[in-house]
Amino acid sequence: MATTTKLLAPILTWQVSQHRRTLQVSRCLSLNLAAEDNNLRVVFAAGGTGSHVYPAVAIADELKLANPSTEFLFIGTPNSVESAAVPCAGYSFASVPSNYASGLANYVLVLFANAIFVAFNSTADSFPRKKCVVCENPVRLSLRNKVSKAAAKSHFFPGYRKTSECKAKVLVVLGGSYGANVVNIAMLNLYYQMLRQNSCLYIIWQIGVESYDKMDNLVKNHPRLYMAP
């Protein structure tokens, strides 16, 4: 009997037999994979932005740990964040053209799916509730490394010095891989005042690849401010 490995991630796999092809969807947080199943092949279609593709990479990482012989393929649009991020993560990527009909693929696939995994309760409102499993957002293995707060602060803020005067607080502002204009404008109007009023505050501001150059020209340098695309 093949041994099994419990995998803490949702996954959808094809099972192909001589006579029929069936679609099987595992339950979130309780997937049992046959460790000796050398024929498992998984295709991911995650979307063009980092907020979509990185959770898929996290699932692929977990599957690879459970069954190193599993084959992976990510498909997506050319010249996108995923076209660069997926190969960097060590997985194969194939580009395909896409019609920008928002949500169309999901609405078609929901007819065939046994279970639908979503990150938020509010997302489940767009699908049949009985099919939905709220599994939150998968986190990549590379982000789980144990790093001390002091080492992290020193990495982003070389001038950081631990003092007894105050307890440093770090604010991380995320607008997605392409950035969120509303968030960036709000931060542009607030960051300097926030830093001036609180000497213990450090800000890591992820601006987005499309807006970074413009915002970089508008923002004043500050030792307690770290900006990145």
Model confidence over 112-143: pLDDT tens digits?
889 898 888 888 888 898 999 998 888 888 77
Distance separating alpha carbons of residues 125 and 110, to the nearest angstrom: 13
pLDDT at 165: 57
pLDDT of residue 90: 93
CA distances from 136 to 29, 42, 121, 133 (A): 11, 21, 9, 9
Which residue ranges in the chain fall short of pLDDT 50? 1-31, 33-36
pLDDT of residue 25: 39
Q: What is the pLDDT of residue 101?
A: 53
Strand partners, 118: 134
